[in-house]
Amino acid sequence: MFFMTIQVYRIKPEIFILFRYGTLIARYIKKRKGCVSAVRKRMWFMGICVFLLLPLLFMWGCGGGKKEVAGPGGDPIGDPIIIGSALPVAFSYGWVGERGIRLAVEEINAAGGVNVGGVMRPFKVEVIDTRDLEAGVPVSEALLAVEKLILEKKAHFLVGGPARTEALLPTLDLVNKHEIIHISSTGSFSPRSNQMVKDDYEKYKFHFKTTCWTFTMLGDFYGVLDSLKEEHGFNKIAVMVQDVAHARQAGEIVSKRMAEKGWDVMDPIIYPTGTLDYSDGLLRARKFGAQVLFVWMDMPESVIMMRQYRDMQIPAIPIGFINAAEHPDFWNATEGKGEYTLNHLVNSGNAPAVVTPLTMPFVEAYKARWGVEPEGYGASSSYQAIYTLKDAIERAGTIETYAVLAALEATDMEGVYGRVRFDPETHLVMHSLDPAEGAVPQIIQWLDGKRETVFPPSIATKQLQLPPWMN
Amino acid sequence: MEIIIYGIVNSLTLILMSIGFALAYGVSRIPNFAHGALFILTGYLTWLLRFRMDMPYGLAILLSLIIVAIIGVALYQIILIRVRGMPISEIIASFGVGLAILEFLRWSGLKGTAHMLPPFMSGSMLIFDVPLDYQRIIVVLGGVSVLLFLWFFTTYTKPGLSLKAIAQNERAGLVLGIDSDIAATLAVAIGAVFAGIAAIILLPLGNIVVEMGYEVLVFAIAVSVCGGLGSWKGAVIASFLIGFAQTITVSLVAPHYHFVTALFIIIMVLIFKPSGLFGRQKELEERV
């Protein structure tokens, strides 16, 4: 009824909701007229006011949940090329990825569109919320979203998610079934999807990835930890991870590897999602004498940990993959108590950095469009995925799947996070610490309210700093 | 000492989360499954009024609590009153309202880590050489204050005594001229305000996220079931039982079992006392 009405009469949903509230309440009051006391009348009046004003407050305060996307500035001709994006838009990997995708599409359309064999065609984005990062939402929901994009929205290409590995892996079978190119640009750090491409190329060749694996990120962490050992003599580490598969695995690998490297490693502490108190683990780390806290968490409650860390003045430096610490609002969320936190942003360009001549223009454009700097993982890789796809389509001269597939495999271009090439066996974008060779990672440290790049050295803006209470 | 200090903090946190739910059920026998949503709604409203409308923090808190109280009244008068006496319908209706509130908040922009309430006091102090931040001390003080207020309200004030009378024997209360609908409305509204107070005290420890609404509801139910549905004294004892069990588990076993401990305690209590610690639902069966 709701959707039918707003579609048939083209009414804005919020206007419809307010109108509906009003009429329902008015009808109810009329029905009860005569038997309602003066006190109750006043109570009803207050209730009506609250129910009518609350939605207005939220809409005004938040600017609404959906942002209207500006139309193309150029005059592309030809039918649009539809990009289907299955993303968990309530989570940062989802909405940040969507912003990267939309920004690239708007820029491309404003510049005239995609040159497909001499015909300029615009991109059009169709996003469906997969909710695949929400607890209790079955994987089948994400797969339905992917299938809907392919069958109902008639997507020519899939870019974005699903973000959860458990949802991404079966997506590869759907992609194979419908023979549609899929570029994973946010979420899943698992090497499994690319391993599937390697193991059964014929079946899974349509899948590409513009992000990276856990192993790649761990390699970067080892680089930072080695330098801490060399420069400051650190050799004790406490590992604290969230109770989710990727974090537990990362914790296990780091514990094992650091023990092999001669570090004293405290027994890993695994926190359930939603934990509100980390004092026990932090006190244990202090008793253990840990100089490094290795944290791997993607829950927003990790902000609490960073506040407690500062309040307790734990003499150790926090380093890891902390979803909350990626975002520019982390500083305010921790009231500055997250200072000195080192965080992996996965790909460079997810925070200001000079990696290639394209990086800072992307950062500025993102800020101009969304009012905030790139917010973390998913931004640069999703933006880059669209430009990589455009490049492949233009070289192929068609949007026919197999031609674009071959063109994507032959990709060699400069991107926002370094040189973009795909591994011919796994279809994972090639990584390097040198922007001239591959996609460059970025580890930032929160210093004085800013995300300063400290790793890799080729793009570093500041030297790593220790908290003053460690000296 | 760490276990004692953080056990007290954890227990008072659980009391704050659950006391509103326990009170509303105790008087009206309506399980308000929108409790967690009202918790988050108060936090978000306060954030909107404070940071979007630049209101003084105190005024923002006061207004949010008033709005949530009105929503509590409306929730009972518009929805719950129609299904009163049908437990399954009450649960479905109130849970539906809670779900709608939480999803509406998510739709209207409550996502990410950007939404947080400022703590009343920053910094920390050492208590017997155990560091404890000031906001957690406020949690303890807030929890104790809520309990004292509840005791005073239900012992010395007329509305509180009316609520107590209805909770003890609804028909006798009606004979004495107490309107059970008004009492239930008042109970749901006070329960909503207690959810709001809990949000104001607890949310500055972290940030306002929709998922926490579900978590608060689960803990409120866990504590209420364990203490005996309808008994707020039971809820207090159960909070201490679960709170200390969780803290001991986290310290001596692993934080991983934090949530499991709460469920384990409930199962154990229900095996030996099916009505909960102070509940009376299955009193006769227990005696037999």
Give the model confidence (pLDDT) of A115-125 as tens digits.
998 889 999 99
Residues 190-219 of A with CB under 8 A from B: none
Do A233 and A305 share a domain, yes or no? yes
Structural domain range at position A52: 2-60
Residues of A in contact with B10 (CB under 8 A): 277
Candidates A282, A301, A304, A314, partner chain B, best to mutate (most B CBs within 10 A): A301
The total number of structural domains that make up chain A: 3
pLDDT at A72: 42
Whose structure tokens read 């659950």? Answer: B18
d(CA A413, CA B9): 56
Most A-contacting residue of B113, B132, B246, B261 (CB-CB within 10 A), to test interface: B113
pLDDT at B124 over 90: no
Shared domain for A51 and A181, answered yes or no, is no
User: Sheet holding A123-129: strands in order across?
Assistant: A123-129, A81-87, A157-160, A181-184, A207-209
Residue-wise pLDDT tens digits, A136-184: 778 888 899 999 999 998 999 999 978 888 888 899 999 999 999 999 9
Q: Are residues A232 and A275 in the same domain?
A: yes
User: Are residues A160 and A236 located together in one domain of the fold?
Assistant: no
Interface test with B, best of A2, A50, A286 (most B CBs within 10 A): A50
Q: What is the pLDDT of residues B60-85, one digit of tens each?
A: 999 999 999 999 999 888 888 888 87
Bridge partners, residue A81, by sequence: A123
**Closest CB from A47, A61, A329 relative to B74:** A47
d(CA A256, CA B211): 33
Closest listed residue to residue A184, CA positions, set A14, A319, A333, A381: A381
* Residue A14 covered by a domain: yes
Percent of chain B predicted with pLDDT > 90: 23
B133 interaction partners in chain A (CB closer than 8 Å): 307-308, 311-312
In a domain, A434, yes or no: no
**Distance spanning both ends of chain B, measured CA to CA:** 42
Q: Which of A54-58, B133-137, B158-162, B235-239 has the lowest mean pLDDT?
A: A54-58
Query: β-pairing, A292-297 with A317-322?
Result: parallel
Residue A75 lies in a domain: no
Segment holding A84, helix H or strand E: strand A81-87
Maximal CA-CA distance, chain A: 84
The answer to whether residue A286 sits within a structural domain is yes
Task: Give pLDDT, residue A81.
Answer: 93
Q: Specify the pairing of strand A157-160 against strand A181-184.
A: parallel
Chain A closest-CA separation from residue B153 CA (Å): 23
H helices then E strands: how many in chain B? 13, 2
Cis, bond preceding A456 (omega within 30 deg of 0): yes
d(CA A316, CA A240): 13
Q: What is the mean pLDDT of residues B145-159?
A: 87
- In sign, the C-alpha dihedral spanning A106, A112, A114, A120 is positive
pTM score above 0.95: no
Domain assignment present for residue A436? The answer is: no
Give the pLDDT confidence of A135-147 residue by residue, as tens digits.
677 888 889 999 9
Helical pair B2-28 and B35-47, crossing angle rounded to 10 deg: 110
Is A69 an interface residue toward B (CB < 8 Å)? no
8 Å CB contact of B78 and A95: no
**Is A184 within a domain?**
yes
Of A466 and A37, the one with more pLDDT: A466
Q: How far apart are CA B131 and CA A296, in angstroms?
A: 24
E strand or H helix at A439, and its extent? Answer: none
Q: Is residue A72 included in any domain, yes or no?
A: no
Put simply, the answer to whether A276 touches B13 (Cβ < 8 Å) is: yes
Q: Does B113 contact A58 at a Cβ distance shorter than 8 Å?
A: no
Residue B103 tokens, joined? 């999803």
User: Quick check: helix, strand or coil at residue B223?
Assistant: helix
Same domain, A365 and A299: no
Q: What is the ipTM of this complex?
A: 0.70
Residues in Cβ contact with B217 at an 8 Å cutoff, skipping those fewer than 6 apart: B21, B33, B35, B36, B37, B98
- Is A185 part of a structural domain of the chain? yes
Rounded CA gap, B178 and B186, in Å? Answer: 12
